[in-house]
Amino acid sequence: MALQIVHACVNCCACVEVCPNEAIYADTPHFLIDEAKCTECLGEYADPQCAAICPIECAIVNELGDPINPPGSLTGIPLEKLIELGLYKAAA
């Protein structure tokens, strides 16, 4: 089990600083998580640390590919507003 960083990542390094397993490394075009090292912080912290500090919605996903921080969850911008502005397309 491991989390994954995907294309939305802006390379801000915040997750690298807080990962207790040193599982996160710089790569191009964005940071990646070493799945052999990632424990999803189980047993150590209540929340996976990378996802708890990440400022970008949808940048970190679980094994199923679902974002830990879905659209609107960090900025507080309502989904309808994001859809109206064309910044989010609801899954078909």
Partner 1 sequence: MELPVISNTPPTPLTTSGGGCSSSGCGTAPDALGHLPDHIRAKVQDHPCYSEEAHHYFARMHVAVAPACNIQCNYCNRKYDCANESRPGVVSELLSPDQAIKKVLAVAAKIPQMTVLGIAGPGDPLANPTRTFETFRQLAERAPDIKLCVSTNGLNLPKYADEIAKYNIDHVTITINCIDPEIGARIYPWIFWENRRIRGVAGARILIEQQQKGLEMLTARGILVKVNSVLIPGVNDRHLKEVSRVVKARGAFLHNVMPLIAEAEHGTYYGLMGQASPSAEQLQELQDDCSGDMAMMRHCRQCRADAVGLLGEDRGAEFTMDKIDQLSLDDIDYAAAMVRRKEVHDAIIDQLDQQRETRRAMPPPLSGDSRNPENLSPAWRTVLMAVAGKNGVVGEHFGHAREFLIYEASPSGVRFVSHRKTGLYCSGTESCGEGDEASASSLVGEPESVLDKTIATLTGCEVVLCSKIGYEPWGKLEASGIQPNGEHAMEPIEDAVLAVYKEMGSAGKLAEKPVGQASSRKAA
User: Which residues bind to partner 1, rule: CB under 8 A?
Assistant: 10-14, 16-18, 45-47, 49, 52-53, 55-56, 74-77, 81, 84-87
**Smallest separation (angstroms) from partner 1 to the CB of 59:** 10
Whether residue 9 contacts residue 59, with contact meaning beta carbons closer than 8 Å, is answered with yes
**Smallest separation (angstroms) from partner 1 to the CB of 23:** 16
**Smallest separation (angstroms) from partner 1 to the CB of 24:** 12
Tokens of 29: 């075009």
Q: Which is nearer to partner 1, 10 or 35 (CB)?
A: 10
Q: Which is nearer to partner 1, 36 or 85 (CB)?
A: 85
Residue with tokens 């940071």: 31
Whole-angstrom Cα distance, residue 11 to residue 85? 25
Q: Which is nearer to partner 1, 13 or 42 (CB)?
A: 13
Whether residue 37 contacts residue 48, with contact meaning beta carbons closer than 8 Å, is answered with no
**Residue whose C-alpha is closest to residue 83's, from 74, 91, 7:** 91
